[in-house]
Amino acid sequence: MRADYPAAPPAWYSSKMLIVVFRSKLVDAPDGYAEMAQEMLDLAKTMPGFVDVKAFKADDGERLTLVWWQDEETLRAWRTNARHLVAQKAGRERWYEYYTLEVAEVKRTKDFTRGQ
């Protein structure tokens, strides 16, 4: 093993780590969405097992949000969180034109950072 390779995976890494892939498109006037989205982000960051989140928006308005969770148990806690259930219902009733949610298991990870 090269001396510059870490001896072990990062502390947040779990062999059962999951990634939620959430693709969506909002309706034209999603009143209240931004506030709820911020609330959900803040809440998710406090949940045990939350690892990271990244969000992107395409030119056609489709959104892609990737959320990493430590394992199935911690993702289940998020999925069944009472406030998150309220946000899900509001999303279906008011904010989303459509969405697709997929959950994938991380099989391996590799990091590179210039200068390290």
Write the DSSP symbol of residue 71: S
Domains of the chain (ranges; CATH) run: 18-105 (3.30.70.100)
DSSP H or E segment with residue 83: helix 82-90
Kindly report the pTM of this predicted structure: 0.82
Q: Dihedrals φ, ψ of 27, to 5°?
A: -70, 170
Q: Dihedrals φ, ψ of 19, to 5°?
A: -120, 125
9: Cβ contacts below 8 Å, ≥ 6 apart: 109
Pick the closest to residue 66 from 27, 92, 102 (CA basis). Answer: 102
Tokens of 23: 């693709």
Q: What is the pLDDT of residues 81-109, one digit of tens each?
A: 999 999 999 999 999 999 999 999 998 88
Pick the closest to residue 77 from 48, 103, 38 (CA basis). Answer: 48
Per-residue pLDDT at 14 exceeds 60 = no
CA distances (Å), origin 72, targets 28, 32, 50, 68, 110? 34, 30, 11, 11, 21
Per-residue pLDDT at 47 exceeds 70 = yes
Q: What is the pLDDT of residues 52-75, one digit of tens each?
A: 999 999 999 999 999 999 999 999
